[in-house]
Amino acid sequence: MDFAWSREQEELYTSVQTGVQRIDCTPDQVWTRTHWLQCGALNLLGLSVPENYGGKGYNALTTARAIEAFGHNCKDMGLVFSAAAHLFACAMPIADFGEEDLKNRLLPGLCKGTLIGANAITEEDAGSDIFAQKTSAVQEGETYILNGHKSYVSNGPVADVLVVYAVTNTAHGYLGLSGFVVEKDTPGMIVGQPFNKMGLTSTLACQISFHNCRIPLQNRLGHEGQGYQIFKRSMHWERSCLFASYIGLLEFQLEQSLAYTKKRVQFGRPLGKHQVIAHRLADMKLRLESARLLLYRACWLFDQGKASNLAISLSKLAVSEAAIQGGLDAIQIHGATGFAREHGIERMLRDAIPSTIFSGTSEIQRDIIASEVGL
């Protein structure tokens, strides 16, 4: 197996690193449309969208490499998360399953940043158990009538385009779920107030309600009953490529911790020369490289069209849990400096904690892994 990056991939990584450093965003403050347009100008909002719709057409592995650079160099992990969620859970379902007219109308704007995308599947009583959702869509002539409530919709308060999942036939189980595109200002759609969150604070999230929303038939994604397949594929994109951003964060965190332990002197020698600290840094490096290899393998299998469910769950679990432990280690290494909010060390932990919840919890990933190994 060749572990070398191509020249194009290396140039992409470098250009993303350089470009995102120029985005003047402030962590813990909501990102703006200007920041979003800058992401669009850097092609970060359409990395994996086919070129004929305004994207770059990269495969999962190349896309993940770009997202890793984004996570490494961007000041605001919330902006990184918002952009990745927009791409993998909204733009890609439209690119993979939308009708041609829908793709031509929406994807160029989603790629350029003139439109903001969101995904709405979670409900108060249907999180990991997506088949417990109550939102319904009933066909009436050339429209569907949408009713229900979605919760924790990332980008929801500012979204122009939402991919929404609803039950179209309660008797058909997982074949009774369908996907729809709902556009901003659709009559009957009510956008709630943003939630307060402990991490990824610049990413606005809210509840969205639908009261007799009429959705054009052409805004359905794929066939009726294909919703679970659409959602599963979008999760393959998200669980592999989005989590590359946390690989970038882990690498930045390690670099920052190493630099600190070389200049900080305690008991007459640099902090990093104390074995207890050196071993903690070694463990941080081990988790980073292990998670990185799992993620790259998952992306490669996905690109090859090979069975990737197990690899993607292993990767998602390893990356997200490494991110939390890395955050704890960085705080411990920096001591009081790590605990003080003005230095930004503790924010990396706050931004890491939701990674074990969104895109399928760690418990769900372990269930998938257990099933894939025959349990």
pLDDT tens sequence across 144-156: 999 999 999 999 9
Would the pLDDT of 98 be above 70? yes
pLDDT of residue 196: 93
Which of 107, 123, 127 has the alpha carbon at shortest distance from 115? 107
Active site residue 123: no
Strand partners for 163: 119, 181
State which fold the 243-372 domain adopts: Butyryl-CoA Dehydrogenase, subunit A; domain 3 (1.20.140)
Q: What is the pLDDT of residue 170?
A: 86
Q: Which helix (H) or strand (E) holds 111?
A: helix 100-112
Confidence of residue 229 (pLDDT cuts 50, 70, 90): very high
334 pLDDT more than 80: yes
Residues 355, 361 contacting (CB under 8 angstroms): no
Q: Of all residues in the chain, what percent carry a pLDDT higher than 70?
A: 100
* Alpha carbons 194 and 158: distance in angstroms, whole number: 10
pLDDT at 47: 98
Against a cut of 0.75, is the pTM above it? Answer: yes
Residue 1 confidence (pLDDT): 67
| Average per-residue pLDDT for the chain | 96
Look at residue 371 and tell me whether its pLDDT is greater than 90: yes
* Three-state secondary structure of 306-341: CCCHHHHHHHHHHHHHHHHHHHHHHHHHHCHHHHCH
Domain 7-116 grouped into CATH 3.30.565.10: no
**Domain boundaries along the sequence of the chain:** 7-116, 118-225, 243-372
* pLDDT given at position 314: 98
Q: How confident is the model at residue 173 (pLDDT cuts 50, 70, 90)?
A: confident
What is the per-residue pLDDT for 174? 77
Q: Reply yes or no on whether the pLDDT at 300 is more than 90.
A: yes
Average pLDDT over residues 291-302: 97
Which residue of the set 123, 238, 251, 346 is catalytic? 238
Tens digits of residue pLDDT in 245-263: 999 999 999 999 999 999 9
Mean pLDDT confidence for 291-307: 96
- Per-residue model confidence as pLDDT tens digits over 37-55: 999 999 999 999 999 999 9
User: Counting beta carbons within 10 angstroms of the beta carbon of residue 364, is it exposed (0 to 12), middle (13 to 18) or buried (19 or more)?
Assistant: middle
Classified by CATH at the fold level, domain 118-225 comes out as Butyryl-CoA Dehydrogenase, subunit A; domain 2 (2.40.110)
What is the pLDDT confidence band of residue 299, given thresholds at 50, 70 and 90? very high
Burial class for 185, CB neighbours closer than 10 Å (0-12, 13-18, 19+): exposed
